[in-house]
Structure 1
Amino acid sequence: MVWELQADEALARAGRYRRAAERALADEPLPRDEALAVLESPDGDLPPVLSAAYAVRARYFGRRVKLCVLNNARSGLCPEDCGYCSQSAVSTADIPRYRLRPVPELVAAARDAVVRGARRYCMVVSARGPSAADIAHFARAARAIRTELPDLELCVSCGILGDGQAETLRTAGIDFVNHNLNTSRRFYPAICTTHTYDDRVATVERAKRAGLAACSGVIVGMGETHDDLVDVATALGALRVESLPVNFLHPIDGTPLGERPLLPVADCLRALALFRLTNPRAEIRAAGGRELALGEAQPLALLAANSIFVDGYLTTPGQGHRDAVTMVESLGFEVERG
C-alpha cells in the first residue's frame, strides 16, 4: 500500500541521520556530504534530523538547559563595520549609546542574573578590542562577582584580544571569552572589512592558550551558503570551542543587513542540528534572534541546543526568564541550577 511505501522510505531516510548521530557519539568527524545532507534535507525529514541531534544532545547534556544573561556593558561607539550590528560605525540604528558601566553596576547585574536563574553571566562591550583600562575594569568586576557569587559562570566579550589580556582575565576569575567567528572564511569579507576572519580565530586561540574556555559561534541568515555553514561548523570543531552560540540574523533598520528576509523556520532548526552533530560535546546555545526566527517553534530548538539566553540581547529584546523557564519545563526539560 502507498502508506507502507512511504513509511519504508521515511525509515530509510531516517537511517541516514541516525548514522550522523552515531558518528558524533563516536567522536568521528561528520563527512562533508552528510553535513550538507542535514542542511539540504526536505522539510518532511525535519523530525528525524532533530531526533538525531537530540540523541547527541542527550548523551552529553541530558535534559538540562542552561540560562544565560547578557549585560551590554558599553553600547554603540564601535569603529568596526560589521554589517549585521546595530552598534557598528556604519549603523544608523536608533540604539542607546553609553560608556563602560561602572563596576558596581556590573556586579549588581550579576546578582540580578542569578536571581533570574542564570548560570552564566556575560559582560559585553562594543569595540574592535579592549584597552588596558577595559581589561583592568573587567578584572575588578570579575573579582568582586567571584567573591560574592562563586558558582556563577563568568564570560567576557570584548573584541580582539591582545597579548596578555586573556591571562589577566583568567587570573581575575573569568571562565569564558566570547568571540564569534560568525561565518565562514570565504564569506567573512561580505559582512566585515575592518578586521579579518583570521583576527577572530586568533582571539579564540589566544583565549584557549590562556586556559580560558572559548565561546565562539555563528550568525545564520546573513546570505551565506550551506557550504559556508559547514565550513564554519568544521572550523569551530577544529578549535574545540566549549560553547557555541547559534545566532539568527535579526535584521535591524539602519544596518547594511537590515532588509534581509528571515530564513524559513525549518532552515534555522536544520542549522542548529548541524552544529550539534558537528560539535557534539560543545554547549550549543540558541542565541540572538531565536525568538524572531523561530517564533512558535522555539521549543524545538531545545532538541539540539542545551542553553538559551533570557531577558534580551545587546540591543534587541528577547524572551523573559519566566517565560523561558515555563517553555523549558513544559517540554520535560529542566533548568540547570548552580
Structure 2
Amino acid sequence: MTAAPQTTGPELGDVLAVAREQVLGRGEGLTEAQVLAVLRLPDERLSEALQLAHEVRMRWCGPEVEVEGIISLKTGGCPEDCHFCSQSGRFPTPVRSAWLDIPGLVKAARQTAETGATEFCIVAAVRGPDARLLAQVRQGVEAIRADGNDIQIACSLGMLTRDQVDELVGMGVHRYNHNLETARSHFPEVVTTHSWEERWETLRMVGEAGMEVCCGGIIGMGETVEQRAEFAVQLARLSPHEVPMNFLIPQPGTPYENYEIVEGKDALRTVAAFRLAMPATMLRFAGGRELTLGDLGAEQGMLGGINAIIVGNYLTNLGRPASADLDMLAELKMPVKALSDSL
C-alpha cells in the first residue's frame, strides 16, 4: 500500500508540528484525521515522524523495553474462520491440532525467564476456553510457580464469560491478550464466525476485573490507509496497557496466502502513527516484523516508538533468536525492563 501525499488540511496544519505540541507536549493522542495525515506522509518525512515518535515514547513511557515470550498450549483446530490464521480448522493449512503438556509449558516458561523476559503468555487456538482448557492453564500456572519461576503470566484464550474472567484473575493471570485484529469497519472481511463487538466485550470485562488489557492486531490484511487510522483510534479508546503490532505473514492454505507483504516504509509509518495515537501505551513488536522490516527495520522501529518486543518464535511462525533481539537492545542502549519493575 503506497502512502498518499496529503498530509495537511484546514484542521491539521503540519501534522508533525501539531503532534509535537499535542502529543509530545501534552500527552494527548492524535485524532483519526491526524493519524491518517501521518500515515499519508511522504517517504522523505518518514525519518522525521519516527524521530518524533521516539521522543514521545521516551517522554511518556521511558527508556525501558519489556521483553515477552509466548507459547501455544493448544495449537490448531480452531473453529473460527479468521482469514489470516493457519490454526483455523476451516482451512487446508499444514497446522494440526496438538496440546502441550505441563512439563513442556514449565520448560518454556523457564527458558523465557532465562532470556531476561518479564512476561510469559500462554496462548490457545480456540473460540473461547472450555473447562478442560482452563484446568490445563491452572495446572500450568501452578507448575510454573512450583518451579520457582516468578515471571508474570499472561493468557490469550479467546472470548471469555464473566466467570472465566474471574477464574483467570483468581489464578494470578495479570494480563489478557485478545486482539481486535483490525478496524471495526474492516472486521467482517477478516472474520465471519464472530463479531468485533464480541471481542470488545471480552476486553471490557477484562479491564473491569483489574487485569491489564493487551489488544492489537495485524497490519496488511487488505485494509485501507483510512481503516488503519480508524483502528489506531479505536485501540486508543480502549486504553490498553499494551498493543502488539503484527504484520501479516501470508499463511499457506488460508484465504490470505497470496497477500503481499507490507512494505517496510509503510510498516514504519504505521508504527510511528500508532505511537502518536497512543503516547503512553506499551507498543510491542510482534509477528511479521522480521519478514516486513528485517534487522535494520527492526532497529528503526525501536527508535520510532516501539518499547516492547516478543522474543523467539510466534506460535506457528519462526521469529528471530532471543539473543539477536537482546543484542540489538544492548547496541541501542535500551535497558530491558526488570521483573521487579513489572510487579
- TM (normalized to structure 1)? 0.91
Q: Which residue of 1 aligns with 2:4?
A: none
Q: Which residue of 2 aligns with 1:10?
A: none
Aligned-residue identity in percent? 35
Answer yes or no: is the 8 Å Cα contact 2:27–2:60 preserved in 1. no
Question: C-alpha separation between the residues in 1 aligned to 2:335 and 2:14?
Answer: 29
User: What amino acid maps onto 1:114 in structure 2?
Assistant: A
Question: C-alpha separation between the residues in 1 aligned to 2:130 and 2:97?
Answer: 18
Q: Which residue of 2 aligns with 1:3?
A: none
Between 25-34 and 62-71, report the one with greater CA deviation. Answer: 25-34
Q: Which residue of 2 aligns with 1:6?
A: none
Question: C-alpha separation between the residues in 2 aligned to 1:204 and 1:219?
Answer: 17
Question: C-alpha separation between the residues in 2 aligned to 1:177 and 1:91?
Answer: 27
Question: C-alpha separation between the residues in 2 aligned to 1:126 and 1:177?
Answer: 14
Q: Which residue of 2 aligns with 1:49?
A: 49
Question: C-alpha separation between the residues in 2 aligned to 1:149 and 1:16?
Answer: 50
Q: Which residue of 2 aligns with 1:58?
A: 58
Three-state SS of the structure 2 residue aligned to 1:80 is: coil
Question: C-alpha separation between the residues in 1 aligned to 2:49 and 2:123?
Answer: 34
The 5 A counterparts of 1:120-159 are 120-146=119-145, 148=147, 151-159=150-158
Return the offset for 1:151.
Answer: 4.3
Return the offset for 1:50.
Answer: 0.4
Question: C-alpha separation between the residues in 2 aligned to 1:194 and 1:212?
Answer: 26
For structure 2, which runs of at least 5 residues remain unmatched after alignment? 1-11
Answer yes or no: is the 8 Å Cα contact 2:22–2:28 preserved in 1. yes
Return the offset for 1:96.
Answer: 4.6
Q: Which residue of 2 aligns with 1:24?
A: 23
Question: C-alpha separation between the residues in 2 aligned to 1:190 and 1:325?
Answer: 37
What's the CA shift string for 1:125-181, capped at 9, x where partnerless? 000110122123212322333455564221100001112111111111111110000
Q: Which residue of 1 aligns with 2:111?
A: 112
The 5 A counterparts of 1:1-338 are 16-25=15-24, 26-99=26-99, 101-146=100-145, 148=147, 151-295=150-294, 296-303=296-303, 304-338=305-339
Question: C-alpha separation between the residues in 1 aligned to 2:138 and 2:229?
Answer: 36
Three-state SS of the structure 1 residue aligned to 2:86 is: coil
What's the CA shift string for 1:81-115, capped at 9, x where partnerless? 0000000123222135303x233322221111101
Return the offset for 1:231.
Answer: 1.4
Three-state SS of the structure 2 residue aligned to 1:305 is: coil
User: What amino acid maps onto 2:240 in structure 1?
Assistant: V
Question: C-alpha separation between the residues in 2 aligned to 1:24 and 1:166?
Answer: 34
User: What amino acid maps onto 1:336 in structure 2?
Assistant: K
Structure 1 residues 18, 111: CA separation in 2 closer, same or farther (over 3 Å shift)?
farther
Alpha-carbon RMSD across the aligned residues, in angstroms, is: 1.8
- TM (normalized to structure 2)? 0.90
Structure 1 residues 132, 331: CA separation in 2 closer, same or farther (over 3 Å shift)?
same
Return the offset for 1:265.
Answer: 0.6
Return the offset for 1:18.
Answer: 4.0
Question: C-alpha separation between the residues in 2 aligned to 1:143 and 1:281?
Answer: 32
Between 47-56 and 129-138, report the one with greater CA deviation. Answer: 129-138
Structure 1 residues 298, 253: CA separation in 2 closer, same or farther (over 3 Å shift)?
same
Q: Which residue of 1 aligns with 2:7?
A: none
Answer yes or no: is the 8 Å Cα contact 1:111–1:149 preserved in 2. no
Three-state SS of the structure 1 residue aligned to 2:218 is: strand
Answer yes or no: is the 8 Å Cα contact 1:139–1:168 preserved in 2. no
Matched length: 325
Question: C-alpha separation between the residues in 1 aligned to 2:29 and 2:257?
Answer: 35
Three-state SS of the structure 1 residue aligned to 2:65 is: strand
